Amino acid sequence: MLGRTANRETQQRGDDRWASFESEAMPHIASLFRVANWLTRDRSEAEDLVQETLTEALTSFHRFVLGTNCRAWLIAIMYHRQSKRRRTNMHLHLVSDPQERILETLIYEPSTPQDVTDEEVLQALERLPRSYQEVVTLADVEEMSYKEIAIALDIPVGTVMSRLSRGRKLLRVELASYAQARGFARRLTADSEGEGIRHELP
């Protein structure tokens, strides 16, 4: 009888643990997959990474403080797992970057173009240096705080802030160039259908 009672108790503990984990962590699968897909650039690998992340999270669930940002906690675990897989790629450091110096002196901040497609937005994001992409994605897409991003990427909060600021500026510049190119193409098309006169844009 003692043995059966102990078994029921441990079964109940397992149920309680799963119920808590399921309500806190499992709703973030879609978000985790987005980040994993961005990290791995491969859907199958992304699914593996999500699975590994949640398995580790389940084991370490006693470390999670209820009421805090579970998604940010899971993403930090994911980055940790990914760094184990590709250790050399994760040790990014900011090297002397002419683009940075240009950004430091950038006065003109283009307005956000209205008619860019989703695909163009993502392509513009892809053209950013990876260290900027990372921070912009976690801050603006996954809405993580500076501190949460700093923990996930293992960088200082100040670095998060500067990369985010520069990344957003650069993204606007990239999007403006898409809009400008489209405007140029539109003018060319209109001119060829009209009077056959081309205007070269600066």
Partner 1 sequence: MNCHEFRGIADSYLSNELSVEGNHEIILHVDLCPSCRIELSARRELRSILRNAFVNAPQNQVRQNFARELSTQLRENVHANHPASQGPVPLNVIGRAWLAVAACLILAAVIGVVMFRELVLTPEKTVATQSVGGELIESAVGDHKNCAIKFRLAEKPVDLEIAGRQFDSVYINLKNSILSQQENLPVDAQFVEAHSCVYEGRRFAHVVFKYHGRLVSVLVTNASGIGAGSDRKPATPVQSSVIASSQTDGFQVAGFETVRHAIFVVSDLSEAENLALARALAPVLLEHISHNESST
Q: How far apart are CA 99 and CA 35, in angstroms?
A: 26
Site for partner 1 in 169-198 (CB under 8 A): 171-172, 175
Interface segment toward partner 1; rule CB under 8 A; list 19-27, 74-82, 98-106, 194-202:
19-27
Q: Which of 83, 159, 165, 177 binds partner 1 (CB under 8 A)?
A: 165
Query: 152 near 138, Cβ under 8 Å?
Result: yes
Residues 64-123 that bind partner 1 (CB under 8 A): 64-65, 109, 111-112, 116, 118-119, 121-122
Q: Is 141 in the site for partner 1 (CB under 8 A)?
A: yes
Binding site for partner 1 (CB under 8 A): 1-11, 13-14, 16-18, 20-22, 26, 29-30, 33-34, 37-38, 43, 47, 50-51, 54-55, 58-65, 109, 111-112, 116, 118-119, 121-122, 125, 136-137, 139-141, 143, 145-146, 161, 164-165, 168, 171-172, 175
